[in-house]
């Protein structure tokens, strides 16, 4: 009865059909699969432990979500918004560009901020909303969605192009090890030198594009009054 081992999949399908608790569904499916496969308790825990170690980066990602949620519940968004309200004359687009410059600088040292989920959503976006509130305007849903896209894009662009400037980082080593079997011997410092102008150009183009797009969006949603109030 080999098909009995597929009972765990059936449990998952039925669980989601009846909209049961997701964690309970997955855990129940894992336990049932272990029982019908004659793994035993030790075998089940062994597989579970090896899967956890092999995917520990995902575990870190989940922990970031939990920490971010806890901080948001305790006023992280409100604190970020209140802080940026003290800075007058800066637009959401300008704020995103400033964040891009800082993100690029720390990216060169392979220092992460938590990504879109860990920093952009709970910190950068509330600050962007705060710049709108500080100018006496009301944040519109369509404008907010545009800011979400620009903020996430700036995070991804800066991290992608600037983390490779970290000498000895995994990205440079990957390129070096890939080219070696093909007969191309390259030094990490040479890879970094090649990437520097590309990274700077990517940041410059991104800042110009997001600044112009934000200016166009503010004119579209708020008219000329928003143009003179912020830069």
**What confidence tens digit (pLDDT) does each residue in 156-183 have?**
999 989 988 887 777 777 888 888 888 8
pLDDT tens digits along 71-96: 656 666 566 566 666 666 788 999 99
Nearest to 65 by CA among 121, 122, 117, 126: 117
Q: What is the pLDDT of residue 196?
A: 93
Nearest to 197 by CA among 165, 220, 155: 165
Q: Which tops the pLDDT comparison, 227 or 206? A: 206
For the chain, what is the total number of helices (H) and then of strands (E)? 12, 0
Which of 2-11, 24-33, 37-46 is most confident?
A: 24-33
E-strand stretches of the chain: none
Give the DSSP letter of residue 89: S
Q: What is the reported pTM?
A: 0.65
Query: Please, how many CA atoms are within 13 Å of residue 101, restricted to the half-sphere of its CB?
Result: 8
The mean-pLDDT minimum among 87-91, 125-129, 150-154 falls in: 87-91
Q: Inform me whether the pLDDT recorded for 35 exceeds 60.
A: yes
């Amino acid at each position: 009865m080999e098909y009995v081992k597929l009972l765990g999949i059936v449990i998952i399908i039925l669980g989601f059909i009846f909209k049961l608790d997701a964690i309970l569904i997955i855990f129940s499916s894992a336990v049932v699969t272990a029982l019908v496969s004659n793994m035993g308790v030790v075998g089940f825990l062994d597989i579970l432990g090896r899967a956890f170690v092999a995917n520990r980066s995902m575990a870190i990602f989940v922990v970031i979500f939990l920490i971010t949620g806890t901080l948001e519940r305790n006023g992280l968004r409100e604190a970020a918004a209140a802080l940026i309200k003290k800075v007058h004359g800066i637009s959401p687009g300008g704020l995103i560009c400033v964040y891009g410059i800082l993100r690029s600088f720390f990216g060169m040292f392979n220092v992460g901020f938590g990504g879109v989920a860990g920093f952009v959503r709970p910190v950068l976006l509330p600050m962007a909303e705060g710049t709108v509130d500080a100018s006496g305007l009301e944040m519109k849903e369509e404008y907010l969605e545009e800011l979400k896209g620009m903020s996430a894009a700036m995070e991804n662009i800066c991290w992608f192009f600037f983390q490779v400037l970290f000498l000895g980082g995994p990205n440079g080593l990957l390129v070096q090890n890939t080219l070696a079997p093909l007969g191309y011997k390259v030094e990490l410092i040479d890879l970094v030198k090649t990437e520097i102008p590309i990274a700077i150009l990517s940041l410059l183009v991104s800042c110009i594009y997001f600044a112009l797009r934000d200016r166009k969006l503010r004119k579209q949603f708020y008219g000329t009054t928003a143009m003179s109030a912020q830069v």
